[in-house]
Structure 1
Amino acid sequence: MMKAVIVLVKEEALASAKYATRQSPLPQSSQFVWPNTISYPLPPHFNGSFLHIAITLSRSSQTLHVAFNPLGRPLATSPHALLTDSNT
């Protein structure tokens, strides 16, 4: 189940990043990152919590990092993510 969510989020993130690139040129800095956060509501027994997903697309390393916080609390910065998936 989590793998399916990762694939879906990656495709959404890449599509959004391509759209953002078309709308305005990316900075020339190799350190440029494109961040985004998506929240999905969890089932009712989680008392209205949300699954927060933070996405970072790095231009310099050509990687997409997807971090999940299944506890429904706001996601901390990347090193504190509970699960991270990276692809080149």
Structure 2
Amino acid sequence: MTATATAARKLSDRAHRIVFELALHDGQWVDVADIYTRLGLTSHQVRNALKELISAEMAERERRPVASDTGCRRTHRTYFRLTDETPSEVSA
């Protein structure tokens, strides 16, 4: 059994739903708010499932700074996408 199949077995139902959602975006970065809005979940439900995907090396994240209108508060947005390589391809 490949590492990808083993990792996929251990994923929760929500993580599987997020994999399909990210696959629809064909490698593009997706904001976490877009994911939970489209799936009808809360941000915490999505974030926990995304942690599963990251630990299984199936997804990656990127934090981008966001400028505030007033300029006094710095913040960021987190974006996710599926990785280009599966864990079995990385180990080969």
- TM-score normalized by structure 2? 0.25
Which one has a bigger Cα radius of gyration? 2
- Which structure shows the bigger proportion of residues in helix conformation? 2
Q: Which has the higher contact order (CA 8 A, sep 6+)?
A: 2
- Which structure shows the bigger proportion of residues in strand conformation? 1
- TM-score normalized by structure 1? 0.26
